C-alpha cells in the first residue's frame, strides 16, 4: 500500500533505524478531485516534504491519501472490493508497502508492514441510499475517494477503530528477493513470514489480498505487530 514503481514510479524511504515515511500513491489525473495536498507541500514524519524522497517529475502531483490513518478509513471500488466485503468487525486489515533504503545500507529494499486497522465497520456504498451516502461523505470528508466528484459507485469503505489501529513507527520486513522461472526478480514472502503467518509466494501488488487465518498464525501476526 502506498507509492510504488508502477503507481508513482518510486518507493517510499526506510531509514537506518527502521522508521519510514508513508507516501501514498499519486491521485489519478482522470478524476476531478478537490485534493490540494501535493508531495511538495505535504510534510512527512521526519519534518521534510515528501517530495524530498521522490523524483522531481512527480513532486507537484496531488496525493491520493488512502488508507488515511487520521480518521482510519480505506476505500476501494475495484475488484479488491469483494475481499473487503468479507471482513468482519474485529478483523485486522494490515497494510504493507514497498520501501527502499534512504542514506543507509542497513535496511534492504523490500515489502514491509507499515500499519493496520482493527475493523469497526464495512460500508458497501452500492447498498446505501443517497442520503446515507451523503452523510458518510460529510462525516469522513478527508477520505480520498470523497474528494473525487461522484466517486462512490462500487466503493467499499473500511472504517477502523481509532483506538485499535496504527501507522507503525518502524516498518516490519515481510519479503525477500526471489526469481521466477524466467530469472526475473520479484519480492516473495520471506521464509520467516511463511512459517509464522502461513502465506507464501509473490507479494508485489498482491491480488487477491493475502488472508491470514488460524489461531496460530493470527497470534503470530498480533505478536509481530505488538498488539496485545
Mean of all residue pLDDT scores within the chain? 92
- Beta strands, E only, 15-165: 25-26, 63-64, 73-76, 92-101, 110-124, 156-160
- Residues of the chain with pLDDT > 70, as a percent, come to 96
CB hemisphere CA count around 126 (13 angstroms): 10
Average pLDDT for 180-203? 93
Average pLDDT for 112-135? 95
pLDDT bracket for residue 207 (50, 70, 90): low
SS3 letters for 131-157?
HHHHHHHHHCCCCHHHHECCCCCCCEE
Instruction: Give the closest residue to 171 by CA, choosing from 122, 110, 223.
Output: 110
Q: Structural domain boundaries of the chain?
A: 12-225
- Alpha carbons 22 and 97: distance in angstroms, whole number: 8
**pLDDT exceeds cutoff 80 at 125:** yes
Burial of 189 (0-12, 13-18, 19+ CB in 10 A): buried
Q: What is the pLDDT of residues 50-81, one digit of tens each?
A: 999 999 999 999 999 899 999 999 999 988 99
Task: Quote the pLDDT of residue 124.
Answer: 96
* 3-class DSSP assignment, residue 113: strand
More reliable by pLDDT, 108 or 36: 108
Q: What is the pLDDT of residues 1-23, one digit of tens each?
A: 889 988 889 999 999 999 999 99
**pLDDT exceeds cutoff 80 at 94:** yes
Average pLDDT for 206-223? 91
The helix (run of H) or strand (run of E) holding residue 187 is strand 185-189
For cell 488472508, name the residue. Answer: 211
- Alpha carbons 20 and 15: distance in angstroms, whole number: 6
More reliable by pLDDT, 204 or 88: 88
Which cell numbers hold the place of 166?
496504527
For cell 497494510, name the residue. Answer: 95
* 3-class DSSP assignment, residue 52: helix
Query: Do 6 and 205 contact (CB within 8 A), yes or no?
Result: yes
Amino acid at each position: 500500500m502506498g507509492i510504488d514503481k508502477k503507481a508513482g514510479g518510486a518507493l517510499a524511504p526506510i531509514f537506518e533505524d527502521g522508521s519510514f515515511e508513508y507516501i501514498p500513491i499519486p491521485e489519478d489525473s482522470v478524476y476531478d478531485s478537490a485534493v490540494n495536498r501535493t508531495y511538495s507541500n505535504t510534510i512527512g514524519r521526519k519534518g521534510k516534504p515528501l517530495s524530498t524522497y521522490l523524483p522531481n517529475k512527480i513532486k507537484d502531483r496531488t496525493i491520493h491519501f488512502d488508507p488515511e490513518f487520521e480518521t482510519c478509513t480505506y476505500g476501494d471500488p475495484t475488484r479488491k472490493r469483494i475481499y473487503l466485503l468479507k471482513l468482519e468487525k474485529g478483523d485486522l486489515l494490515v497494510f504493507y508497502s514497498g520501501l527502499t533504503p534512504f542514506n543507509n545500507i542497513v535496511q534492504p529494499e523490500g515489502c514491509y508492514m507499515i500499519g493496520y486497522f482493527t475493523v469497526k465497520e464495512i460500508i458497501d456504498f452500492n447498498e446505501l441510499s443517497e442520503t446515507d451516502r451523503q452523510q458518510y461523505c460529510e462525516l469522513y470528508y478527508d477520505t480520498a475517494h470523497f474528494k473525487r466528484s461522484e466517486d462512490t459507485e462500487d466503493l467499499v469503505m473500511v472504517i477502523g477503530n481509532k483506538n485499535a489501529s496504527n501507522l507503525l513507527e518502524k516498518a516490519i520486513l515481510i519479503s525477500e528477493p526471489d526469481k521466477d522461472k524466467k530469472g526475473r526478480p520479484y519480492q516473495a514472502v520471506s521464509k520467516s513470514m511463511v512459517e509464522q503467518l502461513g502465506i507464501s509466494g509473490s507479494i508485489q501488488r498482491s491480488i487477491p489480498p493475502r488472508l491470514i487465518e488460524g489461531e496460530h498464525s493470527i497470534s503470530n501476526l498480533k505478536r509481530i505487530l505488538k498488539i496485545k
